[in-house]
Amino acid sequence: MPITYPSLVYGTRYPAIPHLAGSAFGDGDVVLSSRETADVLSRPIVAYEKLDGLNVGISFVRGVPRVHSRVRGVLTLDRLGPGLWPLVDFVFEHLGPLWTVLGNHSIVFGEWLEGAPSLLPYPRRDVAFVGFDLVERKHGFIGPALSHQRLKRAGFAVPLPVFRGVAPSVESLWKYTRTSRFGGPAEGLVLAQGARCFKLVRSDFVERGVVAREPLIRPSLPKSIRTSEVIKRFEPGDPQQRVEVERLRKVKALGPGLRRVEGTTVVMGRVPGRAMRTLQDVAAVGRSLEALHRVRTSLDLGALEPKPSQHLRRAIRMVDRADWRAAMKALLPLIRSMERGLVGREVVCHGDLKPDHVRLHEGVARFLDFESAVRADFAWELGAAFERLDLNSRQRVVLATSYESGDGTSFLRAWLFRLVWQVMQPVVLQRTRLSGSGERIVRRSERRARALLEALTGRRLTALRRKTR
């Protein structure tokens, strides 16, 4: 009887792949007979390592990303808890390439390795996601060869072939499972034969217990350290002085601290410490941000508009090139996905977080320059920190988990705010004089925004005009 590759209805989970005779299997798995296995091995095959991670799919529905889970079906990103925040981060970090490959018409299935409850030790786990199959809405699976070709062209990791040709027996294939591409043992093999796939899993593959995470320790914030002084002067009658004094009184250990006010002069303590360098430093910034956002004030600090898409539309109106306007409109579906009742609490935010404004001392992060403080959504500040502090994937997850260990909504919303920051900053500030560090941040945001928008729209964008300093 001919063996056919399992069919997949678009939008469902990845189907089970049959095992060859001699493979280890679990309850409910389909196992071929010895005769069927011999029939498979009588023709050429391509064998790939079977990775031990989390089987997931990624697709877009009307421009908004979705994750396909074998257990829970199709999920929006806000339904992925903290354990899968790295996956949310991956989707948004690779939003442009994913859209280029998938659009609204395809799903990519692969193995998620970063932070997944892997049962095998991978000492060299240097990629987070390995894509192995593409399925199209109209045509179904397009086959491993074409899938790998398209995914590699978009910059994604794909399985590496360990054997090509006709295998004389199942026993001859076991030697290819001794070592994983990431070090340690391999779980087994996936064998592709045209549009058909089969599995061969080692019998000594034993499930290992997943170690529970250690509880997050939140050290108490020390009192301000009295060191040398910083003097800041205001013009007589400047209302900014009253606001600045109020902020400095409130932030206490999180900022320079208020010493005294002498007429139009505010005397502050100098913030000790060094610049942010390690993951522990990033965690300290998250803890200090959480403490800052618990500060209460009676002053009206000029809240942002409640919906980030309003900022994006404002930026669109300011652009004098039709290509940038059309490109930024492609982001609106993503922003609207956040506005479906995912309302965050408004807090006092620093408003201008960048590397020059963060100092680390004795495991505690303190912040400089509170004159830009605003009352805004807390996820707005996290998203701004993702972009302006130039955090990488791991640092973004560390910042969010050290700030809050709630559900996945806050991380999703922070990432969406980051996209708004990334696109809006270069547009709104394109004719503004900036400091050296501010200019570097805006230039970096523009490069990222252009790459994303070009992938979303398929058109080449010209650089925005910048006013020279």
Domain match, 438 and 292 both:
yes
Q: Are residues 227 and 242 in the same domain?
A: yes
Residue 19 lies inside a defined structural domain of this protein: no
Percent helix, strand, coil in the chain, to 5, is: 35, 20, 45
Q: Mean of the pLDDT values across residues 156-178?
A: 93
Q: What is the pLDDT of residue 111?
A: 92
Residues 183 and 229 in one domain: no
Q: What percent of the chain shows pLDDT beyond 70?
A: 84
Band of pLDDT at residue 116, cut at 50, 70 and 90: low
Q: Which residue has the tokens 């240097």?
A: 126
User: What band does 11 get if pLDDT is binned at 50, 70 and 90?
Assistant: low
One-letter amino acid of 190: V
The CA R_g of the chain, rounded to the nearest whole Å, is 26
215 domain-assigned:
no
- How high is the pLDDT of residue 405? 57
Share of the chain above pLDDT 90, in %: 32
With a cut of 80, say whether residue 95 has pLDDT above it. yes
pLDDT in tens, 443-455: 999 999 999 999 8
Q: Using CA atoms, how far apart are residues 457 and 446, in angstroms rounded to an integer?
A: 16
Q: Which two tokens stand for residue 45?
A: 């095959």
By the 8 A CB rule, do 48 and 145 touch? no
In 168-228, DSSP assigns E strands to 188-193, 196-201
Question: Is 18 part of any domain?
Answer: no
Total domain count, the chain: 3
Structural domain harbouring 248 = 222-272
Question: What sections of 404-435 are H helices per DSSP?
Answer: 409-428
Closest CA to 269 of 316, 307, 222, 331: 222
Kindly state whether residues 323 and 342 are assigned to the same domain: yes
- CATH (domain of 137): 3.30.470.30
Looking at the fold, whether 53 and 71 belong to one and the same domain comes out as yes
Note whether residue 368 is domain-resident: yes
pLDDT tens by residue, 327-353 = 888 888 888 877 765 667 778 788 888
Same structural domain for residues 227 and 154? no
Q: By the 8 A CB rule, do 389 and 354 touch?
A: yes
Domain identity same for 119 and 62: yes
Same domain, 116 and 132: yes
